[in-house]
Amino acid sequence: MTTAVELSAPGALSHLDALEAEAVHIFREVAGEFERPVILFSGGKDSIVMLHLARKAFWPAQIPFALLHVDTGHNFPEVIEYRDRTVAEHGLRLFVGHVQEFIDNGRLQERPDGTRNPLQTVPLLDAIEKNRFDAVFGGGRRDEEKARAKERVFSLRDEFGQWDPRRQRPELWNLYNGRHRVGEHVRVFPLSNWTELDVWQYIEREEIPLPEIYFSHEREVFQRSGMWLAPGDWGGPKGDEKLERRVVRYRTVGDMSCTGAVESPAATVAEVIAEIAVSRLTERGATRADDKLSEAAMEDRKREGYF
């Protein structure tokens, strides 16, 4: 125990303190009401912030949850390295579901465009069922996407892992109803009320380390559907797509085949924040091919059990 006592001044909480307190409350509710919760951890910034909040929520005890990563097989090596380092550093337990295994045994088929993000749903639901996870923390935020704007903090999934937006439970005050039947599970979104800017400001305030691909670096990329993609085994570049060196960084981190880099000189958290504050594109609009598939692409994936 530290002996120094910090004097705390009266007054309204800052927005980061209010968002942090709300997220911590959500983590503790789940710890109090569920048997086998798990945190979805991809090594992306939102899941990194989730883990940081969980560690603070249960300090000085260990977090009472394991981590789960659905590995598309098309990962940025820097991100996997970050994931494994974090797990070792904090003595955590990590479950990994592999999309590749499902392709190899025929339960999933590679898509013609090589994108594996939509293929994550089956291994995710499989891992949830096999390990009997009853609460699954996701880093989804309501500001990310229209279908997510109507998502609850506690979101019930049926025994097939499906989301029915018309049968959501009204969520009042800070009373979260996590009751579910055997075989059903609840997705929990502690960052529901955070924006991209809040996440970055919190990363800055808490000095949370991130994988280096979030910051400006020189990289070989090629252009496809208006996005800068990185080459890899996943199937790029093809045909007349040309590799060029560009100074880029990533705003989101997902499957390499559908996560685009943005050209950016922002090399520090403060520079990233300054860049986001004047950006005219949402992070998904700028960097995610999978959301451009249709008007309701995210809703359709969510209904089937996606993150």
Partner 1 sequence: MTSQINGSAEHAEADASVGLLRLATAGSVDDGKSTLVGRLLHDSKSVLSDQLEAVERVSRDRGMEEADLALLTDGLRAEREQGITIDVAYRYFATAKRRFILADTPGHVQYTRNMVTGASTAELAVVLVDARNGVVEQTRRHAAVAALLRVPHVVLAVNKMDLVDYDESVFAAVADEFTAFARELGVPDVTTIPVSALRGDNVVDPSAHMDWYGGPTLLEFLETVETGGQDEHADGRFPVQYVLRPQSDDEFRDYRGYAGQVASGVFRTGDPVVVLPSGAHSTIEGIDRLGTTVDRAQAGESVTIRLSSDVDVSRGDLIAPAEAAPVATQDIEATVCHVADKPLRPGDRVLLKHTTRTVKAIVKEIPYRVDIQSLERQSSPGELHPNDIAHVVLRTAQPLALDPYAAGRRTGSFLLIDEADGSTLTAGMAGPAFVDQGRRGGETDSATERCL
Span 143-182, contacts to partner 1 by CB under 8 A? 143, 145-150, 156, 165-166, 168-175, 177, 179-181
Find, among 226, 205, 259, the residue nearest to 79 by Cα.
259
Q: Shortest approach of partner 1 to residue 113 CB, angstroms?
A: 21
279 binds partner 1 (CB under 8 A): yes
- Of 179-208, binders to partner 1 (CB under 8 A) are 179-181, 192-193, 195, 197-198, 201, 204-205
User: Can you read off the two tokens belonging to residue 289?
Assistant: 């091919």
Residue 7 CB: number of other CB atoms within 10 A?
Answer: 4
Residue located via tokens 């392709």: 103
Residue closer to partner 1 by CB (options 24, 80) is 24
CB under 8 Å to 156, separation ≥6 — which residues?
168, 169, 180, 184, 186
Residue closer to partner 1 by CB (options 16, 66) is 16
Residue closer to partner 1 by CB (options 80, 197) is 197
Count, residues near partner 1 per rule CB under 8 A? 79
131 binds partner 1 (CB under 8 A): no
Residue closer to partner 1 by CB (options 93, 169) is 169
In the list 238, 242, 245, 280, the residue contacting partner 1 (rule: CB under 8 A) is 280
Find, among 136, 140, 177, 121, the residue nearest to 305 by Cα.
121
58 binds partner 1 (CB under 8 A): yes
Find, among 126, 178, 141, 121, the residue nearest to 50 by Cα.
141
* CA–CA dist 48, 26 (Å, integer): 16
- Of 11-50, binders to partner 1 (CB under 8 A) are 12-22, 24-25, 28-29, 31-32
Find, among 255, 260, 256, the residue nearest to 287 by Cα.
260
Stretch that binds partner 1, among 73-81, 211-219, 226-234, 271-279 (CB under 8 A): 271-279
Task: For 124-140, give one letter per residue: b (16+ CB within 10 A) or e.
Answer: bbbbbeeeebbbbbbbb
Residue closer to partner 1 by CB (options 32, 106) is 32
Q: Shortest approach of partner 1 to residue 60 CB, angstroms?
A: 4
